[in-house]
Amino acid sequence: MAVLDINQIRACFPSLKSGHIYADNAGGSRTAQAVIDRIVDYLTNTNAQLEAGYSAVNSQLVVEGTKVAAELFNAVSLDEVGFGSSSTMLFENLSRALENDIQPGDEFIITYEHEANNGPWKRLAARRNAVVKYWQPQPVSAENPYSVVYRIEELLPLVSSRTRLAAINACSNILGSVIPVEETVKALRQRAKEQGAAKFEVALDCVAYASHKRMDVQKWDVDYCVFSVYKVFGAHNAAAYVRSAALRTSFTSIVHDFLKVDDKPYKFQPGGPGNELVYGASAIVPYLKSLTPEDDLAASFDAIAEHEQEILTPLLRFLTDAKQFDRGVRILGTGEIDFSRIPTVCFVVVGQNAIKSKDIVGAFSKKGGISIQCGYFCAYYLIDNLRPKLDMNDGVVRISLVHYNTVEEVEKIVDVLREVLA
């Protein structure tokens, strides 16, 4: 397996030249220089409405961005891919396009994860008198009640003959845990078939997943999938996959009623997609493929996963050490260091000598040179349902790493944590 050339990687990100350590990448990664260059090129040289007769060049540039998103998803067709301002907005658009296909009494299964893949379905259920069921994470440690995971055996009993859609997350932006998507969707579909569900679809949130692991909507057999481009080294927009069959049979167009959009992604993409940002996204796959000699996405993501295990290890070992546990440190999710976990780690400090999450982040800010964050990170209900209850105004501390972070950076983070927790 190829080993990442970290110096080569870091040279691709202009914001890393300052030496500042960015350690809340789940909130937004650094933007690759190649993405910036393409955005500037588009705005400088080819900016025009795509419908204009003189816009053939920039229309093709937007297609290049769509091709890259389709490759990241492993979609069958470019017609299955659309863009929007954010993942939250795209899921809202998907729910609006599905509205006429939802009947009273239909059931949605959602998680307590990021609200992007929760809120739109809750609002749709309210509009259509549908029922919402929750897949809840379960504790795995008697010593640490905040160590919770999602299990398929708690998910499948939620499926009934009225189940219309399951909205799940490939990865938690709080717990750091990766669910086995292919296995989970296969089990869901089998259960839905056994229960006699007339129509069952799966909406997958890959926002916390896409910068760490290879997506594959065909292998996973999902109907909808969304990720944030700005968390995968691009600019601030997002991409959505919608299976061709869903475009044909599930969606009603939410664009201008005089437009004939047929089975195109424009059905859920009102207005322009941010053409310069879409073209900027066309640099992401070439960047990722450049990380390994194979010039192959799968090989690059394998190398990324290996490196991310390396940088996760010192952080997770420190936070789960018996000394820190006695100090009151409690991580969310599991303390296992393996490929079922990405290098996003959330924790709190509780007990007799508790420390507020805001004070820990404040200590980092005062010291300077390292950015971490605290809060509930739009997974409000996940954190609010943990027991013993946490202060939602304070939230949890989050340290989130990606492949351009180094072991040396993580050691500096651990040194500051050691001072704060002393």
pLDDT tens per residue across span 270-318: 988 899 999 999 999 999 999 999 999 999 999 999 999 999 999 999 9
Distance, in Å, from the CA atom of 188 to the CA atom of 153, rounded to the nearest integer, reads 11
- Residue/partner pairs of 90-93 with CB below 8 Å, 24 or more apart: 90/226, 90/238, 90/239, 90/240, 90/268, 91/116, 91/117, 91/119, 91/120, 91/121, 91/203, 91/205, 91/226, 92/119, 92/120, 93/240, 93/254, 93/268, 93/269, 93/270
Estimate to the nearest angstrom the gap between the alpha carbon of 150 and the chain centroid: 16
Whole-number Å distance between alpha carbons of 250 and 201: 10
Average pLDDT over residues 210-236: 98
> What is the tens place of the pLDDT at every residue in 136-192?
999 998 999 999 999 999 999 999 999 999 999 999 999 999 999 999 999 999 999
Residue among 18, 98, 35, 63 at smallest CA distance from 369: 18
Cis-peptide, bond into residue 180, ω within 30° of zero? no
CATH architecture group of domain 6-30+294-421 = Alpha-Beta Complex (3.90)
d(CA 380, CA 312): 25
Pairing mode, if any, of strands 21-22 and 370-371?
parallel
Quick one: how many helices (H) and strands (E) in the chain? 16, 15
Letter string b/e over residues 14-33, b meaning 16 or more CB atoms within 10 A of that residue's CB = eebeeeebbbbbbbebbbbe
Mind listing the pLDDT tens digit for each residue in 379-390?
Answer: 999 999 999 999
pLDDT-based confidence at residue 57 (cuts at 50, 70, 90): low
Strand order across the beta sheet in which 396-400 lies? 329-331, 344-349, 396-400, 373-375
Q: Angle CA(6)–CA(9)–CA(11) in degrees, nearest 5?
A: 110
Helix (H) or strand (E) holding 344: strand 344-349
State the average pLDDT for the chain.
95
Class level of CATH domain 38-286 = alpha beta
Element (H, E) at 165: strand 163-169
- Residue ranges covered by each domain of the chain: 6-30+294-421, 38-286
**Among 167, 170, 185, which Cα is nearest to 90's?**
167
pLDDT of residue 146: 98
Q: Quote the pLDDT of residue 259.
A: 83
Task: Give yes or no on whether 6-30+294-421 and 38-286 have one common fold.
Answer: no
Residues 192 and 10: beta-carbon distance below 8 Å: no
